[in-house]
Amino acid sequence: MSERELWERYQRYLCVVPSVGFTLDVSRMRFPADFLDRMRPQMDKAFADMEALEKGAVANPDEKRKVGHYWLRAPQTAPEPGLQKDINDTVAAVHAFAADVHAGKVKPQKAQRFTHLLLVGIGGSALGPQLVADALGTHADKMQVAFFDNTDPDGMDRVVAQLGDRLAETLTLVISKSGGTKETSNGMLEAARAYQAKGLDFSKHAVAVTGAGSELDNHARKQGWLRIFPMWDWVGGRTSVMSAVGLLPARLQGLDIDGMLAGARDMDVATRQRDALKNPAALLALMWHHAGGGRGTKDMVILPYKDRLLLMSRYLQQLVMESLGKELDLDGKVVNQGIAVYGNKGSTDQHAYVQQLREGVLNFFVTFIEVLKDRPSGAFEVEPGVTSGDYLLGFLLGTRRALYEKGRESITLTVPDVSARTVGALIALYERAVGLYASLVNINAYHQPGVEAGKKAAGAVLDLQRKVTKRLGEAGTEARSAEQLAADIGLPDEVETVFKVLEHLAANPDRGVVRSGGPSPAEARYRVK
């Protein structure tokens, strides 16, 4: 297509959401002229499914749950008055609590004011807060935010070291919907130890966001934590950023959560429209379907040309892949669905993997995110008449063109700025697109049966470790091989796991296991110190 024809196509398919100043351009997707018409019956069903979901139908059949993240920004649309009240009360409580913290009414044990925030959570209980904090944060925020989002001891040590003595002014939020996620409870215990090491009572610095009656809820109550905020079973972890999970840390940081909710609400209005050409979430879902033939054969490369949106790809990775990556469809048929998501930011990636995108294996489509506003003020010309921001746009358009020339498809989202409103709108856009796409390919977007297998297997590894260390203790100073120890504990076939566990213990001198013998697994011998 010539540049002139592309301009015509750009105008024909441009989807505009004036309330958030947002546009979606699908002109560089090579879908055939009749594609949208052909997809209409499936799209109509997707709209009907979505309407039922918003009205409170059980949209997650496996877990028999309602799916209510859209109600979070429009409580009046929640199907029961009790839910509306819960949402309104929680937003009000978040505002009131944050105001008290900022004013020093809620204060730390041995300091005047909380100035820092440590968020302990993982997956949906961290990724949304991380995206929002990074996209909207500044050096002048009311509180600076740090995260424990893994059970990596060194990762946590590094955060604690960076906080240093400011731990005394740090409010820790432990966020877990289920309240039983191991990484998060480990993070909580590690955080408590760090406070204790400084002579501080963790419970006087701790707040929980969790489901009523969860392990975390019970623990926080028993220990008399500062506060507990609710997390509801009708909100999925990966769509929880507009519940207390995301609102509380954002408001404590000093961000405009009402703006974020309003942006999401405006996008929700736009994405409820039944005309796919006017509905950016529907158009996005249709483009994903076109790109990957409804089977996810093409990866989604997210390329925001803005540092503040760096975490978009990580956030979308969970939202898209945990929602769509399913073995079975809603009829129980094996489909192995999904769309792989990766990305970083432009133009940085032009000096990394864009080479492959232009010339290598054609297994992807790109989503460019363009931000019109360069910086709050003070344009600086790096060359006569040209700013760094002009370069950023030049690189975006240049890459888009270079990819198109080689038959590589792309979508472009444009937002006026990176503000609370646009971040809320982008999140809402993708939440809806994922839901609509799931209907198009007939899968349940709201459960995650696959992650349980890894959790169970991890639990089995730790049980095995307990048995091995007990056996090592009984063997005293006698050095034994992994093979012998596996046989000793009655699990001879688990020898590889026994070996890996022993290597890990021996690599950490304070664990009390000494390795001797040769470098190969068969030669290695282990004993207690």
Ligand X SMILES: O=P(O)(O)OC[C@H]1O[C@](O)(CO)[C@@H](O)[C@@H]1O
Contacts to ligand X by CB under 6 A: 122-125, 176-178, 181, 184, 237-238, 322, 448, 451
322 flagged as catalytic: yes
- 127/415 with CB nearer ligand X: 127
Q: Among the options 64, 139, 351, 456, which is catalytic?
A: 351
182 flagged as catalytic: no
Q: How many CB atoms lie within 10 A of CB 192?
A: 19
- Closest distance to ligand X from the beta carbon of 57 (Å): 21
CA 508, 513, 516, 518 torsion: positive or negative? negative
Q: Report whether 106 contacts 226 (CB < 8 A).
A: yes
- 182/204 with CB nearer ligand X: 182
**Total length of the chain:** 529
- 241/260 with CB nearer ligand X: 241
- 144/176 with CB nearer ligand X: 176
d(CA 381, CA 389): 9
**Maximum distance among all Cα pairs of the chain, rounded to whole angstroms:** 81
- Closest distance to ligand X from the beta carbon of 27 (Å): 35
- Closest distance to ligand X from the beta carbon of 239 (Å): 9
Three-class SS state of 410: strand
- 279/448 with CB nearer ligand X: 448
Compute CA distances 447 → 27, 182, 462, whole Å: 33, 19, 26
Q: Report whether 350 contacts 402 (CB < 8 A).
A: no
- Closest distance to ligand X from the beta carbon of 50 (Å): 21
- Smallest Cα–Cα separation from 266: which of 134, 432, 483? 432
Which DSSP helix (H) or strand (E) runs through 475? Answer: helix 449-475
Nearest to ligand X by Cβ — which residue?
237
- Closest distance to ligand X from the beta carbon of 238 (Å): 5
The DSSP string of 115-150 is -EEEEE--GGGTHHHHHHHHHH--TT-SSEEEEE-S
116 flagged as catalytic: no
d(CA 252, CA 243): 14
Spell out the alpha helix ranges (H) of 334-448: 354-359, 388-405, 420-440
Q: Among the options 54, 169, 322, 409, which is catalytic?
A: 322
- 447/525 with CB nearer ligand X: 447
- Closest distance to ligand X from the beta carbon of 132 (Å): 15
Active site residues: 322, 351, 455
